Structure 1
Amino acid sequence: MTDPNAPVTVTPADDMPASSAKAVQALALKHLYIAWVRFQRRPESMRSFIGYDLLYFPPPYAAKWAKPFGYIRQAASTIAAIRRHKPDVLWFQSPPTFFAHLLVAYRALGGRRLKVVADCHNMGLDPDVPGNFWMKIPGTIPALNSFDVVIAHNAAVGAKAAGLGVRSDRLLVLETRPAPLPVDETAGDPVPQVILVPCSYHDDEPIEMLMEVAARVPDATFKLTGNLARAQSKNYPARAPANVQFTGYLSAEAYTHLLTNCSLVIGLTTGEGIQLSGANEAVGAGRPMVLSDTQLLRSLFGDAALFAANETAPMAAAVQDALSRQGELRQASRTLKDKRERRWRLQAEACLERLVP
């Protein structure tokens, strides 16, 4: 597998060109995107349009007590990358929210003058997300307001960010682009039935309920991806039925293969304002979806997904219904992919236009 820390450049020529003159001007700048994770589909999906180098600096240590030392290493790697690549525009993924403080300090100490785009996931802007401690770090909003663009991933979180004091001339909504993944329109229903459940194992995901659902759908295999150590710390694997597999983190290639060949993608959250990256991936891959019934998820994926309350009986019924309607739901996801792509391009160009006079 390719080293995830190695920069990969994809130019805008690989994608349909921007239509706005100012957006074209912004694309001519040198862009760099940095994320302190192993892999993230969102920046991967955007880079063929924006053309940035994409660097991952994942946590170097697994133990919680070692995280502060890991942050120091990641910060040093980030500053070294900025000096090495000399970008005109730096995009960074938040959280960690103190990434913003790092960049403020870098610029104050005479670092390279560059434009900054803060790509804020929900925990980087929404203090109401269960278990979110990132917004408790002092000075986060003033730091964000010192940058050129602050991105919220949906309108609901954008409204919360505005309420917290993020400046209106900085704040923009840029939804997650449907993943540009291959879609086989001739394929039938996969056999055996495999259900992909992308997980973080954070407090907003009702995993106990999901395991009860799996027990009611014994003919399907449920594959739960994500942080295996966190799942084990909550004793999920020991309590799971036989048809539930905890895969841990997969390589990008293995995860994409699972995503593009599964029968169904399930996305779970108890929180409003959480848009679920797994649902965006399912749309990009043209896969059927069953999602938690929240107002935001209905607004984003209502044309393609089945929805259910976070309770065992209705969720199990929705899963069984989706498995019986896979062809119909695959087509619905493909149609939604085209619609979401057009909307995303308009939002992306508005973001780029903020970067030039």
Structure 2
Amino acid sequence: MRIWITWERHRRSVELAEAFGCEYHCIDHAGKSRLARYFLSAWETWRLLARTKPDVVFAQSPSILLSFLVAKLRVFRRFVYIIDAHNAVPNYAKKSGPLAWMTSFAVRRADYTIVTNEELVPPIEKMRGRALVLPDRAPRIPERPMPERFRVCVKPHFTLIASFNWDEPIDTFLEAAAGLDEPFTLFVTGKKSKAGELLRYESERIVFVDYLADPAFEGLIAGSDLLIDLTTDDRVLVCGAYEAVAVGVPVVLVDSRVSRALFGDGAIFARNEVSDYRRVLREFLSQPAYHRDRMQSFQGDFENLWNASFQPIEQAIAEIARSRQ
């Protein structure tokens, strides 16, 4: 039996759990205090492992505490242990303190740690772990109508997928967009309470939509003419790129080696500069149909590429599971 455990909802976990044939368990106590959340999540994780007695356990990390706890619980049962570290865990390789120690311990005790690209392999190996590379699967996004309040805005519709984290050059992009003369509406997702001084860009053409539940968010991105998802961390593959592939909508990404390696045949790339963001926006506006056709053609190529990455990883996990029986 295979199970996938996560302490927060994440689209990657849902998709990979199904791909690996796992029973998916999201133990989410959002809304409770941090101490209560960790205690309840740890207790339920222990009970889940005791009840299901799995042969293979996948744990999403972060949470660092989850990956550490599962590593400790291997003392009681010899299951195959896989950490899905996606983009985050390697950041702890160059840090010190309790979280770095817990991360290193979990990675050493795991049979494999999965990361999204080759740039993240050395940090895992530095922690004496064994890394496997698997990008996100293109999510299955159901067809949904674009919410009426967005549909009536001036077209074309651009959507900047934002969470207002430290690595997102949102200010630079908004400055670029605000300086364009061409007609458009730019929707900025993410909690408006986190936008801070960026709200100075709010206007009829730049709309901060606040947090959206999945149906509204999915309708917005599928109904957009162009998506934008930006990071200055050149080791990160952004979620919005996968979502763009899923809905067949062109996407602007910050130019980096890892993004070009995976999305080079489908995305539009820009340097993190006001002038270059304006250049790619004008380029898109001059031939939107070309960029949409290019992305939709890339959808099948991406699926083939992902399957080619997935199969050897599935085989490696199956082989080590058989050896433990």
Q: TM-score, normalization: structure 2?
A: 0.83
Aligned residue number for residue 194 of structure 1: 157
Q: In the alignment, which residue of structure 2 is the partner of 1:307?
A: 269
**For 1:128 and 1:221, how far apart are their aligned partners in 2?**
41
Secondary structure of the residue aligned to 2:233 is coil
| 8 Å contact kept, 1:59–1:67 | no
* Deviation sequence 1:160-207 (CA, Å, 0-9, x none): 322x2333xx311011122234689xxxxx873222222232111112
The structural deviation recorded for 1:158 is 1.5
Name the residue aligned to 1:156: 119
**Which has the larger displacement, 73-82 or 347-356?**
73-82
Secondary structure class of the residue paired with 2:227: strand
Deviations 1:41-90 (A, max 9, x none): 2223334432323233345238xxx4343222332333334345443322
Describe the shift of the 1:94–1:151 C-alpha distance in structure 2 as closer, same or farther (beyond 3 A). Answer: same
Identify the residue that residue 26 of structure 2 maps to in structure 1.
56
> How many residues were matched structurally?
310
For 1:144, the aligned partner's letter is V
**Shift of residue 312 of structure 1?**
1.5
| Other-structure match for 2:248 | 286
Partner of 1:98: 65
Distance 1:300 1:314 in 2: 21
Determine if the alignment matches structure 1 residue 173 to structure 2 residue 167.
no
Amino acid at match of 1:224: V
Alignment gaps of 5+ in structure 2: 145-150
Counterpart code for 1:36: W
How many Å separate the matches in 2 of 1:116 and 1:245?
A: 44
Task: Tell me the residue number matched to 1:123.
Answer: 88
Report the 3-state secondary structure (helix = DSSP H, G, I; strand = E; otherwise coil) of the residue aligned with 1:33: strand
* 1:73 to 2:40 alignment: yes
Whether the aligned pair in 2 keeps the contact of 1:211 and 1:241 (CA below 8 Å) is no
Whether the 8 Å contact between 1:289 and 1:306 is mirrored in structure 2 is yes
Equivalent-residue separation in structure 2 for 1:133 and 1:220 (angstroms): 46
Paired position in structure 2 for 1:6: none
Contact preservation (8 Å) 2:55, 2:80: yes
Report the residue type matching 1:178 in the other structure: A
Instruction: Give the TM-score, by structure 1 length.
Output: 0.77
* CA distance in structure 1 between the aligned counterparts of 2:93 and 2:188, rounded to whole angstroms: 25
Percent identical: 26
Answer 1 or 2: which has greater helix percent. 2
Q: CA RMSD in A?
A: 2.9
Aligned CA distance change for structure 1 residues 259 and 140 (closer, same or farther; 3 Å): same
Q: 2:108 — aligned with what?
A: 145
Structure 1 position 266, deviation (Å): 0.5
Q: Which residue of structure 1 aligns with residue 3 of structure 2?
A: 32
